[in-house]
Chains A and B, each alone.
Chain A
Amino acid sequence: MTATAETTAGSRGAQPPVPDGAVTVTVKIRRFNPEFDDEPRWDSFDIPALPSDRVLNLLHHIKWYVDGTLTFRRSCAHGICGSDAMRINGVNRLACKVLLKDLLQKGDKQTTITIEPIKGLPVHKDLLVDMEPFFEAFRAVKPYLVTYGNEPTRERIQSVADRERFDDTTKCILCACCTTSCPVYWTEGSYFGPAAIVNAHRFIFDSRDEGAEERLDILNDIDGVWRCRTTFNCTDACPRGIQVTKAIQEVKRALLFKRV
């Protein structure tokens, strides 16, 4: 059901000047607003864009100059805040970290970019999904430093090697690219999902933390780490380059051998 921009929404008036070096691309977006729509549809927009543009620029162009009802989250626009996770050409990406030049078709063929909301979370409107189940899973793994006894007056001492042990999983920005790329999560929404396990890993392997057992108990649950089937979708999807599957495997191993 491909509709064109002209038929789906009134253009917001004259288009801004097309910059030198721009190419026309077709952006095909999965739309759904439960306030007005009975079911989702696809809208296509032909817009000018520079190869150096981020996909987020394309979405802004549509929202600002063609269809103001197009709805998505975004904030920092350079891959740090984690707001704009979406499925771009079938893979989970941050719209602000994908450049058009990496999506362009070779030769004269016009490029079509397909954008859908991330999967496994209820769609609120267009590309904007309900993040609550995702954050609920995050909160459930005790994602904070657990310690007992008196606090030292100065900082806790931690060796460079101990600090390095969990460095990779401190990079998580909670964008949900990993969790919503996981086929297990799509079918079993009760599974904690990769992001929650990554954040558990970040504390389980922190030498200062004393809550590893509590967290491992939680993750040993029926909806815990054992659901992971090492598909590696999560690792491929992570915009921060975290070795997500490896982190999950390390948590599994800690459970098997009762040793961190």
Chain B
Amino acid sequence: MQFHKYDVIIIGAGGAGMRAAIESGQRARTAVLTKLYPTRSHTGAAQGGMCAALANVEEDNWEWHTFDTIKGGDYLVDQDAAEIMAKEAIDAVLDLEKMGLPFNRTPEGKIDQRRFGGHTRNHGEAAVRRACYAADRTGHMILQTLYQNCVKHGIEFFNEFYVLDICLTETENGPVCTGAVAYELATGEIHVFQAKSVVFATGGFGKVFKTTSNAHTLTGDGMGIVFRKGLPLEDMEFYQFHPTGLAGLGILLTEGARGEGAILRNASGERFMERYAPTIKDLAPRDIVARSMALEVLEGRGAGPNKDYVLLDCTHLGAEVLETKLPDITEFARTYLAVDPVVEPVPVYPTAHYAMGGIPTNIHGEVLRDNDNVVPGLYAAGECACVSVHGANRLGTNSLLDINVFGRRAGIAAAEYANSRESHVDLPENPAASVEAQVALALSEHGQERVADIRTELQATMDANASVYRTEDTLKTALHDVQTLKERYAHISVQDKGKRFNTDLLEAVELGFLLELAEVLVHGALARKESRGGHAREDYPNRDDTNFMRHSMFYKQGDGLSADIRMDYKPVTFTRYKPMERKY
């Protein structure tokens, strides 16, 4: 075992983690622990843009952005947080530009802006050009720019260090975070990092689904670690399905395509979104578009030999717009489906994309241990966190915004907290014990179940039973399946027994997190007997503000993988926007 001591530890090197590191690293002794190399994180796969009311190309203001975010989230958004995000969005974009991000430009040389789903002028009048972008690789440019600036500031990275636990020390005022425990992939060694502050920025858990835009490595590790510590997760039933995944593959095609004018059509060529969202049509928020597409298919209007997808028509945009503003997605369609968007429509279907829920935090990124109290020294930002700025459905581009605004806030708060403490709080006794036991158990001979089989079956049942549309019956099936798979997980076999880059072991550990998070998602979806944002219950098709205008909070009861889940609720924060019916 090796021991390290820092002021601030940041776990994860995607957009949120590196944005936090740039702030923290200039204020306190900081290390970033990441299971991947920094530029491999999935922030790099984000395409379309990052919204901010710069008003560079038409009238706009951040209050409209706040309203759109709250309405888009079906009023489950904490309005104080949404207001902060929309207000700070402007500086967040300008900061990135000053760091060197090569945004596309207007003819006057200002940052150009394009339309995006759910972002409107004056509270819903029409789509507004608010998304700042760099072709269709905005996330790539953000990730590269943040890494470049980490290099500039000499941020210390521990690459391919897989954090498996955090250290909580009990004090008379409750638990305090005092460090993290990591498994070094290169050597199989365990490292204990003592710290005054720990920031989680570990991303989402899209790999609970089969059809997903998410990377193989998005397995909810951070959320899983926090949950296993008995700390809550929030709003986990709200999972976003992005409307335009490449059919059958799930690879993302940006909403920016529709922002540039692309149109969704069913088998007969009809622009069906005119029926579902008469005002903003194809630029309705993602939950609405995804459900409309699923309905078209369910009602027999799907395209293709099996009528199981719809078509994204970009042909009228012309080769130049596609090659200059949407080059990556044009190439994805050509490479993976052998379809050329310049001359033919692209088969698309909703793909599991983004967790609205996660580790509950306040607006400083401090992690909550219940509805009112924080865990001193523990922070979270980005997709793994739930502030909540996305409520029941995130608007397109608001995730790139979230990681920059709240990554920055968490980095500053973590460093300032560390600097306000004179000394490190003692670590708990044997801080590495549970990780050592976990690794030893995984490598021991205790069964013949294959990780790949359990994961495949998990993803199949989640796709079939807990995706765009859900019912009591399908969710009960999913819950039963997940619980059965957890039992089988107790008998998995890891074939690679070595210490060096044991990715066989890594996948087994990741599957443990996926199983727990899938169960929490389904548990929450069963309990929420209403339809709101990304959570659509066929058996409860309406939003029920009387009973469900509240956040879900999930607590693990006990230690084992099959421990029970306790549910609680947390009120939504309102400032000035009263819930209204959501029409577009």
Contact = CB atoms under 8 A, between A and B. Distances in A.
B105 A13 contact: no
Interface string A151-170: 10011111110110011001
Interface in B59-109: 93-94, 97-100, 102-109
Interface in A147-188: 151, 154-160, 162-163, 166-167, 170-174
A75 B499 contact: no
Interface residues of B, number: 60
B40 A125 contact: no
B450 interface: yes
Contact of A206 (B100, B149, B456): B100
B254 interface: no
Nearest to A174: B39
Interface in A44-84: 52, 63-65, 67-69, 71-83
B577 interface: no
A257 to B, nearest CB: 24
A145 to B, nearest CB: 3
Nearest to B448: A13
Interface residues of A, number: 63
Interface string B121-144: 000000000000011010011001
Nearest to A131: B37
Interface string B40-53: 11101100000000
B40 A81 contact: yes
A171 B504 contact: no
B261 interface: no
A208 interface: yes
Interface string B443-454: 000001011110
Interface stretch (B1-9, B165-173, B409-417, B490-498): B490-498
A97 interface: yes
A253 interface: no
Contact of A157 (B94, B108, B141, B503): B108
A237 B39 CA distance: 19
B306 interface: no
A77 B251 CA distance: 9
Contacts of B251: 78
Contacts of B496: 68-69, 71
A34 B39 contact: no
B111 interface: yes
A124 B500 contact: yes
A63 B505 CA distance: 12
Contacts of A158: 105, 109
B502 to A, nearest CB: 8
Contacts of A41: none
Contacts of B441: none
A206 B109 CA distance: 13
Contacts of A246: none
Interface string A107-149: 0000000000000000011001001000100110011110000
Nearest to B336: A78
A83 B93 CA distance: 28
Tell which of B135, B215, B494 has the most Cβ of chain A within 10 Å.
Answer: B215
For the complex of A and B, the 9 pairs showing the least CB-CB separation, nearest first, are: A145-B100, A68-B495, A64-B452, A157-B109, A144-B148, A68-B504, A144-B152, A69-B496, A75-B215
